[in-house]
């Protein structure tokens, strides 16, 4: 059996097991990002003005246009 001087042995890449809590945290983070970036009062209208104003100021701090 001849081998090429350029042949590299194949290395098996191990699979990374992602725990269920990490997926749940990622979904929660995406939802929080949605609230922060997209809410213009439609989602938090029942929560009152304080929550809306908090997210409104946070959008401005991140540079997300909302007006």
Instruction: For residue 55, give the 3-state DSSP assignment.
Output: helix
- Top pLDDT among 18 and 59 is at 18
Confidence bin at 56 (pLDDT 50/70/90): confident
Q: pTM of the prediction?
A: 0.48
Using CA atoms, how far apart are residues 61 and 59, in angstroms rounded to an integer?
Answer: 5
Domain ranges of the chain: 40-67
Q: What does the pLDDT look like over 9-44, one tens digit per residue?
A: 788 888 889 999 999 999 999 888 777 666 666 666
């Amino acid at each position: 059996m001849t081998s090429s001087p350029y042949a590299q042995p194949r290395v098996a890449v191990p699979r990374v097991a992602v725990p269920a809590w990490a997926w749940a945290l990622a979904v929660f983070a995406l939802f929080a990002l949605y609230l922060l970036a997209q809410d213009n009062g439609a989602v938090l209208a029942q929560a009152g003005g304080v929550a809306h104003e908090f997210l409104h100021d946070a959008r401005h701090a991140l540079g997300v246009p909302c007006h």
